[in-house]
């Protein structure tokens, strides 16, 4: 067997510039080749020092070369660490009071399946809190000296001031280079997000129906869907595909020829974003059809016009940086214990480098993505970095089952009564919130996440059968008890009768 490493220049449009092959089992048989490569500065001798797993950083196919990356940056890990810290903080009291009952639980119950990276110790865990085991009392608590609380509050105030200063600088950076955002699909959800985006930059919308009055009222520009070239001429940084799940593929396919023409004329490819409730379907469609000059961001705002009508604060926003500067995120990545992926390498001097080093196009692409994500962040969203695969697994057991139960209960024609309980009022709210969405959405949740959705349906059917079976068993037990009582009563009555008869006839 031979190990082949192929390097791709980030500015050479997938041109293979070198291939080095040597037996994996005999790395000392080094090929006579020494060459530096653009943007990487690798030589054959330094390549030999790379771990075997490094070869997973690049992947090629004969018909469509594609660069693969295990991880793009540290920001997603920081955001996930913040989520873990927040979740553990919210549940601290409950976990403390039930410590004896939770000894068998994993340490990180918020950690998704293997798709998310390992997160090391949170930075806040390294703060000095004078954790001296000798100061613990018999119950295991840590008594703090007088004045310690005041010092902690002073630290807290200083951190708050520092955070406020960073946020002001961040807002200044965002406003210095506002994005031009295009939205394809200006229905209820498209209008919902466009209204907020207008506060952060220029917004251009397009739709089958004429919503020019609605667009003008919120400060957006309307372009008819029948004029895709005019829409792309607006020089948009980001294009959001705010269509239904069912029409998503056909809309993307219709847009592709115009995008190809756009980038073929030397224009920069936009960042294309989807907001579908199913993610692997959207990911596959966009990777398959969109030009490689277009970066891809798969997202799912876990809220809509109803749940987000009072603002987006603390509402979940799930995202995956799917393709950045022609580099595709690998959802099955493995991370080492330090959270390091395989998009880094060590040179002959032992220095750590990124495969994106000295790549201006990658830096600009990441900057555009972060500017877009920062809009959701600044509106208060709870940012959740997650692979499309993990999202669909979770969604089947949360979003789909919610819509499924709402549709099932709604089909029974339930309505208000004069004696409604709080529980029944919650049931009616569930019916109203789920049936307010189109049936196409519900169908799309099923069809385009069918493996996970069908499993949820089967589990629900099995649970229903178990509940009904338990009711029948209890009913049979009650019937047996009733028959036994009736038999005992008959026997007692018979005994009394025989006793009475025996008294008369000695």
Lowest-pLDDT range, 34-38, 205-209, 457-461, 469-473? Answer: 34-38
Please state, rounded to an integer, the average pLDDT across all residues of the chain.
Answer: 77
Say what the pLDDT of residue 423 is. 94
Amino acid 396: pLDDT: 82
- Contacts of residue 330, defined as CB under 8 A and 6 or more positions apart, other chains included, come to 56, 68, 69, 70
Is it the case that residue 476 has pLDDT exceeding 80? Answer: yes
Over range 295-301, report the average pLDDT.
97
- Answer whether 190's CB lies under 8 Å from 242's CB: yes
pLDDT tens, 332-378? 654 444 445 556 666 677 776 666 666 788 889 999 999 999 999 99
3-state secondary structure of 401: helix
pLDDT at residue 37, as a whole number: 37
pLDDT band at 36 (very low <50, low <70, confident <90, very high): very low
- Cβ atoms of 449 and 400 closer than 8 Å: yes
Instruction: Give yes or no for residue 225 having a pLDDT over 90.
Output: yes
- What is the arithmetic mean of pLDDT over 230-255? 95
The Cβ of residue 159 has, within 10 Å, a number of other Cβ atoms equal to 12
**Least trusted range by pLDDT, from 66-70, 480-484, 492-496:** 66-70
The pLDDT assigned to 143 comes to 66
Yes or no: say if 390 and 115 are a contact pair by the CB < 8 Å rule.
yes
Task: Write out pLDDT tens, residues 417-454.
Answer: 999 999 999 999 999 988 888 888 888 888 888 888 89
Residue 355: its pLDDT value, please?
Answer: 64
Q: What is the pLDDT of residue 480?
A: 93
Residues β-bridged to residue 59: 66
Please give the Cα distance from 121 to 102 (Å, whole number). Answer: 21
Report percent pLDDT > 70 for the chain. Answer: 67
pTM score: 0.64
What ranges in 311-449 are assigned the alpha helix state H? 360-378, 388-395, 401-410, 422-435, 439-447
Q: Please provide residue 134's backbone torsions phi and psi, each rounded to the nearest 5 degrees.
A: -70, -20
* Residue burial 48-78, b: 16+ Cβ < 10 Å; e: rest: bebeeebbbbbebeeeebbbbbbbbbeebbe
In this prediction, residue 343 carries a pLDDT of: 62
- The pLDDT, as a whole number, for residue 164 is 87
Other C-beta atoms within 10 Å of 144: how many?
A: 13
Dump pLDDT digits (tens) for 178-187: 999 999 999 9
480 vs 105 pLDDT, higher one:
480
Confidence band (pLDDT; 50, 70, 90) for 90? Answer: low
């Amino acid at each position: 067997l031979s190990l082949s490493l192929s390097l791709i220049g980030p500015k050479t449009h997938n041109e293979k510039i070198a291939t080095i092959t040597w037996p994996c089992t005999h790395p000392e048989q080094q090929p006579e080749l020494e060459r530096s490569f653009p943007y990487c500065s690798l030589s054959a001798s330094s390549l030999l020092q790379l771990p075997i797993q490094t070869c997973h950083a690049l992947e090629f196919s004969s018909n469509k070369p594609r660069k693969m990356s295990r991880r793009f940056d540290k920001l997603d890990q920081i955001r996930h660490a913040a989520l873990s810290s927040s979740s553990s903080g919210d549940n601290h009291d409950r976990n403390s009071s039930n410590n004896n009952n939770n000894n068998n639980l994993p340490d990180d119950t918020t950690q998704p399946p293997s798709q998310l990276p390992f997160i090391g110790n949170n930075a806040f865990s390294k703060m000095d809190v004078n954790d001296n085991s000798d100061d613990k009392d018999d119950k295991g608590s840590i008594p703090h000296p007088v004045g310690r609380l005041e010092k902690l509050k002073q630290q807290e105030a200083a951190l708050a001031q520092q955070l406020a200063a960073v946020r002001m600088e961040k807002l200044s950076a965002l406003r210095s280079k506002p994005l031009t955002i295009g939205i394809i699909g200006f229905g209820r959800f498209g209008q919902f997000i466009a209204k907020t985006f207008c506060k952060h930059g220029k917004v251009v919308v397009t739709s089958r129906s004429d919503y020019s009055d609605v667009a003008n009222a919120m400060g957006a520009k309307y372009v008819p869907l029948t004029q895709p070239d005019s829409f792309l001429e607006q020089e948009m940084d980001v294009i959001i595909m705010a269509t239904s799940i069912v029409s998503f593929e056909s809309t993307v396919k219709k847009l592709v020829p115009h995008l190809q023409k756009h980038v073929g004329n030397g224009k920069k490819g936009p960042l294309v974003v989807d907001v579908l409730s199913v993610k692997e379907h959207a990911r596959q469609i966009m990777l398959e059809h969109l030009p490689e000059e277009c970066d891809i961001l798969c997202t799912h705002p876990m809220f809509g016009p109803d749940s987000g009508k009072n603002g987006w604060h603390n509402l979940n926003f799930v995202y995956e940086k799917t393709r950045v500067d022609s580099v595709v995120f690998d959802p099955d990545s493995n991370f080492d214990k330090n959270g390091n992926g395989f998009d880094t390498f060590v040179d002959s001097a032992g220095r750590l480098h990124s495969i994106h080093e000295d790549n201006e196009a990658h830096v600009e692409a990441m900057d555009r993505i972060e500017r877009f994500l920062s809009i959701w962040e600044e509106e208060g969203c709870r940012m959740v970095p997650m692979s499309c695969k993990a999202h669909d697994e979770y969604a089947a057991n949360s979003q789909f089952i919610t819509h499924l139960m709402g549709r099932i209960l709604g089909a029974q024609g339930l309505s208000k009564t004069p004696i409604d309980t709080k529980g029944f009022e919650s049931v009616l709210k569930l019916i109203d919130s789920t049936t307010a969405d189109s049936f196409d959405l519900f169908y799309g949740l099923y069809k385009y996440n069918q493996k996970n959705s069908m499993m949820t349906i089967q589990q629900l059917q099995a649970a229903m059968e178990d509940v009904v079976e338990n009711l029948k068993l209890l009913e049979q037990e009650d019937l047996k008890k009733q028959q036994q009582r009736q038999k005992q009563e008959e026997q007692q009555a018979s005994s009394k009768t025989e006793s009475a008869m025996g008294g008369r006839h000695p």
